[in-house]
Structure 1
Amino acid sequence: MNDTPGLDLTAFRGWYDGQRPGEITGELSGQVIAGGKSNLTYEVTDGEHRWIVRRPPLGHVQATAHDMGREYTAMSALRDTDVPVPTTYAHCADPDVIGAPFYVMERIDGVAYRSASQLEPIGPERTAAIADRMVDVLATLHAVDPAAVGLAEFGRPHGFLERQVRRWGQQLEGSKTTERPNAEELHRRLTARVPVGDDEWAGIVHGDYRLDNLLTGPDDQIKAVVDWEMATLGDVRTDLALLLVYDQIATIAGGALVADVATAPGYPEPQQHLARYAATSGRDLGDMGFHLGLAYFKLAVILEGIHFRFLQGATVGEGFDQIGAGFDPLITAGLDALGED
């Protein structure tokens, strides 16, 4: 099968042969295995070997999003740690090869659980165990010393939260499909409430950590953490807060299109996630209100960006006509989490 919109296999082969001569031994074919909402992911094969190729989405792309070099750097650095990641093979920063930067990595035999319907057949006990391991892996990531794996310059932890609030406000301005006064109010409150003096929480932040960005093996172990496009150094509690928000999104209009795994029998409640993370990391999480407010805002902006691309006809897949409905409920939930000024 050959269905690779956005990936010219002839151009790809010409480039990859120069990077790893002799590795491709037959005619290439491939298909999109995930795409549209974020980066496009392809499985490419020569009939004997298989590779995963990642590139930014087609169409509208924010300047600071979909950073192929960032994904490649993060996974390459974590290869020898206890954080499971795919082996990386090559990175192309030249957009002229296939029309955008891209990278190539190992194909992992694992399942990305994207829906409750996938989890239901395995039963509540296995679902709970996988979710617990998801939290354990997150705590393991946050325990990695960035300098020890060559990531000391991967980000600027000091002032991270202030920059996050500013950045996601800018992202919204770049993708707005209509006026969003409630979002502007949440952004104002976040700006006024940025915590200070939290550098002790600095570490490697995945930026989009959730169950469907993990590959789970047949033994229910987490085989790989993927989708590192938003990774940086900063306050690691932002990862945990975003995970909790993803768990809530199935109850929000249009949200089940993004994630509904938390509705599967056996999936832990948010407080269980918090307790497990605190126990595994040995850290007191404190008040998570700001972090949850920021996470709701961030996810709302991500949905607005997807909606923007849908209106341009630049998404790959189905269901995107409903994605914009989740924006206002997320903003409302963010305001509730943050509380009054």
Structure 2
Amino acid sequence: MKGLDLAKLQAYLDSPPLAATMFAGGRSNLTYAVTDGTNRWVLRRPPLGHVLPTAHDMAREHRVLSALSEAGFPVPKPVLLCDDTSVIGAPFYLMEHVDGTIYREAADLERIDLHALTLTLVDTLADLHSLDPLTIGLGDFGRPEGFNERQVRRWKKQLDASRSRELAGVEELHARLAVDIPAGGPGAVVHGDFRLDNVLIGPDLTVRAVLDWEMSTLGDPLSDLALMLVYAGRPLLFRDGQPVAPIDLPGHPSLDEMAARYAERSKRDVGDLHWYIGFAAFKLAVILEGVHYRYTKGQTVGPGFDTIGAMVPVLIEQGHRALEGH
């Protein structure tokens, strides 16, 4: 299987014969369901080929999952971490398999209470940000002071490392973001990529597990909120093979309602999110440009990568519009 040598993994685990399937939908780290016929796990490893500096750190992801699971936050419990690249060709970790649904099809969301589900996601994010990093053993997981300033610099570096084409307006957007950067309030554990299809949902529409913690750190929680709002307006879902934005589906709450719900639950001031929305659009543009770069190099696994590149210019424009007050 591409990206996973089952024979070597079986030898490393000293397990019965293994079978594995790749989870669809991943655009970054590769994720596989693995079973020995009795036990079920999920394996995470970095993407193939072009990997940006500081990205795809399996040890960090394993650490935050350990801390959050012990704190009672809904995440899969990690099982083991392996940094020996000779096993499958890259560091990896195993975590427990959690049953639940990842919603990617518009038709599936139209059969449930999407309004209630979306507000539950907002509540889950607010609950994450309410955790005291020091109390749960993540006091040194990042540096909240100067977080936004470092993020602006970091994602520009990531863009420069992944750029393979001209992107109109992206330099100007970065320059505008670098002016009057918000200092931010008290730091919190931030997910860094919180969205609908990074969450496992139970049949009662509760959150069974939040997934994909590769960009988590200590930082400004409003960055998470803004990115969730940007994602709500992006065509992440599919209807008859065509991309659809969650916010365009019946029952989805407005962005204002989502922000108000977060403010009520978290007791944080969300009165001015324009800079945060602008930066979230820039960050997502850089992430997707990195995915597009790997796609052009033939280093992606699975379908759905051919439309990623077209989203980048749209996000750049959205970033400019947010900074102009829209």
Q: Indicate the TM-score class for this superposition, using the shorter chain for normalisation.
A: over 0.9
Q: Are the equivalent residues in 1 in contact too, given 2:234–2:246 (CA < 8 A)?
A: no
Distance 2:199 2:26 in 1: 18
Answer yes or no: is 1:66 the counterpart of 2:56.
Answer: yes
* More displaced 10-residue stretch of structure 1: 58-67 or 130-139: 58-67
* Structure 1 residues 236-261: Cα deviation after superposition (integer angstroms, max 9, x where no partner): 1000000000011129xxxx988733
2:297 match = 312
- Residues 1:11 and 2:1 aligned together: no
Q: Counterparts of 2:292 and 2:262 in 1: how far apart (Å)?
A: 33
Q: Does 1:168 align with 2:136?
A: no
**Is 2:221 the partner of 1:236?**
yes
Distance 1:312 1:88 in 2: 32
- Which secondary structure state, in structure 2, belongs to the residue aligned with residue 38 of structure 1? coil
- Aligned match of 1:21: none
Is there any run of 5+ residues in structure 2 with no aligned partner, and where?
Answer: none
Q: Deviations over 1:151-201 (max 9, x none)?
A: 0110011110001000000011011121234100000011112113x242x
Q: How do 1:221-300 and structure 2 match up within 5 A?
A: 221-250=206-235, 260-300=245-285
Over residues 65-106 of structure 1, what are the superposed CA-to-partner deviations in whole Å (9 max), with x where a residue is unaligned?
A: 111111111110011324201111001122222111110000
Q: Number of aligned residue pairs: give it.
A: 321
Equivalent residues of 2:168, 2:313 under 8 A apart: no
Q: Please give the alpha-carbon distance, in whole angstroms, between the structure 2 residues aligned to 1:76 and 1:262.
A: 33
Counterpart residue number, 1:208: 193
Greater percentage in helix: 1
**Other-structure match for 2:71:** 81
TM-score computed with the length of structure 1 as normaliser: 0.90
Q: How many angstroms apart in 2 are the aligned matches of 1:109 and 1:259?
A: 25
Alignment check: 8 A CA contact 2:226 2:276 kept: yes
- Counterpart in 1 of 2:140? 153
State the match for 2:322 in structure 1.
337
8 A Cα contact 2:163 2:293, kept in partner: yes
Distance, in Å, in 2 between the alignment partners of 1:279 and 1:305 is: 35
> Per the alignment, do residues 279 and 36 of structure 1 end up closer, same or farther by CA in structure 2, a change over 3 Å counting?
closer
Counterpart CA distance in 2 for 1:133 and 1:35 is: 22
Aligned counterparts of 1:109 and 1:35: Cα–Cα separation in 2 = 17
- SS at structure 2 position matched to 1:31: strand
Could you state the TM-score of these two structures normalised by the residue count of structure 2? Answer: 0.94
Q: Give the SS at the match of 1:139.
A: helix
Secondary structure at 2:73 match in 1: coil
The aligned amino acid for 2:105 is S
- Indicate the residue corresponding to 2:107 in structure 1: 117
The residue identity in structure 2 corresponding to 1:154 is F
Show structure 1 runs of 5+ residues with no match. Answer: 18-23
Runs of 4+ in structure 1 off by over 6 angstroms are: 256-259
Decide whether aligned partners of structure 1 residues 238 and 298 sit closer, same or farther in structure 2, where only a CA change above 3 A counts.
same
